[in-house]
Amino acid sequence: MTLFHYHNTPLSGIFINFTVIIVRAIDKAIEKMSKEHERHIRAYDPRGGRDNARRLTGLHETSSIHDFSAGVANRGASIRIPRQVGEDRCGYLEDRRPSSNCDPYCVTEMIVRTTVLGSYDD
């Protein structure tokens, strides 16, 4: 008998790319996002992170739901910096944490609030 285990199976997610002009801004955006990791995880999944808990296991080119990470050309990171962006020191970042059933408006709002506005007042 074969059992299907969600925690060890690649599940669907989406990647959100957002443009950052210079490397100082990239570093600051990553630092700000690292401090709000748990808030982002809850917002990136309509079930408050429960769906992402099955997907973000640290396996199958995903980061762990419990850890924030960023890296150049690292598909296992929470935030992936494309290789060319790392070389040019300007460009865009890829947030690899949103679930496939996320609300893209909520995800965009979280990224803007965290990296630009710095506010979570409703």
* HSE of 51, CA atoms in CB hemisphere, 13 A: 17
Asked whether residue 18 is domain-assigned, the answer is yes
Domain contains 4: no
In a domain, 2, yes or no: no
Q: Is residue 111 part of a domain?
A: yes
Whichever domain contains 95, its CATH number is 3.30.590.10
Within-domain flag for 107:
yes
Token pair 């002009």: residue: 21
pLDDT in tens, 8-29: 345 567 677 777 666 678 889 9
**Which domain covers residue 67, as residue numbers?**
12-117
Give the model confidence (pLDDT) of 31-87 as tens digits.
999 999 999 999 998 888 888 888 888 787 778 889 999 999 998 999 999 999 889
User: Would you say the pTM of this structure is higher than 0.85?
Assistant: no
* Counted domains in the chain: 1
Structure token digits, residue 68: 């924030």
**Residue 60 placed within a domain:** yes
Domain membership flag for residue 7: no
Tokens of 17: 């790319």
> How many C-beta neighbours within 10 Å does residue 63 have?
23
The distance in angstroms from the start CA to the end CA of the chain is 50
Q: Does the residue 5 lie in any domain?
A: no
